[in-house]
Structure 1
Amino acid sequence: MLHAVNAFLLGFPALFSIVNPISGALIFRGVTGNRPPEARAAIARQVALYSLCVMMVALWAGSYILAFFGITLAALRVAGGLVVALSGWHLLNAPERREARKQEEAAPAEGADDIALFPLTIPITTGPGTISVAVTLGAGRPPLFAGLGWFFLGMTAAALAMTVVIWLTYHYADRLATLMGPHGTRTVTRLAAFLLMCIGVQILIAGVDDVLGPLLAARVPARA
């Protein structure tokens, strides 16, 4: 059970930081502002479900897809840690620039009939950053008889919890925007970015340890 809790405490903050549902809800509000409340509620549910599918596929199939191309777990952790840490760093220093880019991506689709999958789910809610984080998290799974079941339970619970958060923030986007205001949104975005950068560094450390650990262990007996 402790393994499941640890997996959840690792997965949920990482997903929350990269998804950033609060800023996403403000974009959702702007894109769907000309639609009736019933339609907006339906779109919010669709975005949440699509986001769950993206996260689950990336969590549990992404590493196998990479393995098919001969990419090792250590390489995935090093690359994924760098991507996540740099993403957090850029967002920490310029959150407004990233959100403005998302607004530009959403703008051409304002008159489309179906905007739930594109662009509201991909790339605005669960884009390349979320996919890379989910793949990296899933790649850190333990062996079959070393807590894999608990790890699967904890990470799946993190994805489900993230789905609920996405649905709630998008469904109540109007109230959220009024409650937080621009200053509050920027503050939450920066806090999430710092947490994301820390998680990326931790993943990077694990990858470097996977690479250097066996080499250092092999040299110690040789010197002895």
Structure 2
Amino acid sequence: MTHQFTQAVLLIVTTLFPIINPPAGALIILSMERGASDRDMAELARRIAINGFVILLVSLLVGAYVLSFFGISEAVLRVAGGLVIAMAGWGLLQSPTDEGAAPSQNAGHAESLRARAFYPLTLPITVGPGSIAVAIALGTGAPRLGLQPIHLAGVIAALLLLCGNIYLCVRFAARAAHLLGKTGTQIAMRLFAFVLFCIGVQLSWLGVSELIGSLHLHEAEAVLASHSKLP
């Protein structure tokens, strides 16, 4: 049982951590929330970590069934998600380099903060279609005899480790930016924004390639079927 628990934790963490990349995501979030107070960053970190935990847990446990219910293929998920990520990265590349003004303190600020914490800061910036697709693929490899309690415990422990890292990176992103300095932070943010744009394009291309490949496969099957009917 301990072996199954450890195997589930290591598999999920080592597979998803490089894709999510919390340190890079934290700097991107910081660039999108210029002028946010320390209290706002703490609130964002908490909400993003919770949102990410829920999204990944649902993707691991029932993601494949949800996509099947709505008739959405993983290829389409990659195309749509890649476009969203690419647009977010392009928007960051085009954003001004100067620091924003202090955050608004009006009555709608808290509500706006909660809305941004889910979209786009959690989905797709932190937990994007790439990590969701991988989580769905990992979920399909769950024990064939049904989800065992020890496997579920491993999944939860792994996601707690991942989302704990997300929380710490977002929470202390401003301190990391302070260590890098203003110029270093701007360089890192532009670099990560470009990488984010490239990831979006790559995801979309992978999805398009899969769709084209499946189309060609269907055409070949149709040709073979028509030939088999010939006398």
TM-score bracket relative to the smaller structure: 0.5 to 0.7
State the Cα deviation string for residues 132-167 of structure 1 (Å, max 9, x = none): 11111111101237x833222212211111110100
Which residue does 2:129 correspond to in 1?
128
Which residue does 1:172 correspond to in 2?
172
In structure 2, give the amino acid aligned to 1:156.
I
Give 3-state SS (helix, strand or coil) of 1:141's partner: coil
The two structures, once aligned, show a CA RMSD in angstroms of 3.7
In structure 2, give the amino acid aligned to 1:103.
L
Question: Aligned residues, how many?
Answer: 167
Which residue does 1:103 correspond to in 2?
92
In structure 2, what is the Cα distance between the partners aligned to 1:62 and 1:48?
A: 19
Deviation, 1:67, is: 4.8
In structure 2, what is the Cα distance between the partners aligned to 1:62 and 1:100?
A: 26
Deviation, 1:22, is: 0.8
In structure 2, what is the Cα distance between the partners aligned to 1:118 and 1:3?
A: 35
In structure 2, what is the Cα distance between the partners aligned to 1:131 and 1:2?
A: 25
CA contact (8 A) 1:48 1:166 kept: yes
| Residue 98 to residue 162, structure 1, CA distance change in 2 (3 Å) | farther
In structure 2, what is the Cα distance between the partners aligned to 1:134 and 1:37?
A: 32
Q: Where do 5+ consecutive residues of structure 1 fail to align?
A: 88-96, 194-224
In structure 2, what is the Cα distance between the partners aligned to 1:27 and 1:129?
A: 17
| Residue 120 to residue 69, structure 1, CA distance change in 2 (3 Å) | closer
| Residue 69 to residue 41, structure 1, CA distance change in 2 (3 Å) | closer
Of the two, which has the highest radius of gyration? 2
Which residue does 2:211 correspond to in 1?
none
Deviation, 1:11, is: 0.3
Give 3-state SS (helix, strand or coil) of 1:61's partner: helix
In structure 2, what is the Cα distance between the partners aligned to 1:179 and 1:59?
A: 36
Deviation, 1:47, is: 1.0
Deviation, 1:20, is: 1.0
Which residue does 1:54 correspond to in 2?
55
In structure 2, what is the Cα distance between the partners aligned to 1:143 and 1:126?
A: 27
Q: Where do 5+ consecutive residues of structure 2 fail to align?
A: 97-102, 200-231
Which residue does 1:65 correspond to in 2?
66
Q: Where in structure 1 do 4 or more consecutive aligned residues deviate above 3 Å?
A: 66-71, 97-102, 104-107, 177-186
| Residue 41 to residue 160, structure 1, CA distance change in 2 (3 Å) | same
TM-score, normalised on structure 2?
0.59
Which residue does 2:33 correspond to in 1?
32
TM-score, normalised on structure 1?
0.61
Which residue does 1:153 correspond to in 2?
153
In structure 1, what is the Cα distance between the partners aligned to 2:70 and 2:47?
A: 32
| Residue 24 to residue 13, structure 1, CA distance change in 2 (3 Å) | same
| Residue 11 to residue 144, structure 1, CA distance change in 2 (3 Å) | same
Which residue does 2:14 correspond to in 1?
13
State the Cα deviation string for residues 82-110 of structure 1 (Å, max 9, x = none): x7xxx9xxxxxxxxx99944735999xx9
State the Cα deviation string for residues 18-74 of structure 1 (Å, max 9, x = none): 111111110111122312211121111111111111111111111222454789xxx
State the Cα deviation string for residues 174-217 of structure 1 (Å, max 9, x = none): 2223456579997xx9xxx9xxxxxxxxxxxxxxxxxxxxxxxx
Give 3-state SS (helix, strand or coil) of 2:164's partner: helix
In structure 2, give the amino acid aligned to 1:176.
A
Percent identity over the alignment is 33
Deviation, 1:130, is: 1.5
In structure 1, what is the Cα distance between the partners aligned to 2:118 and 2:50?
A: 10
CA contact (8 A) 1:40 1:171 kept: yes
In structure 2, what is the Cα distance between the partners aligned to 1:121 and 1:50?
A: 7
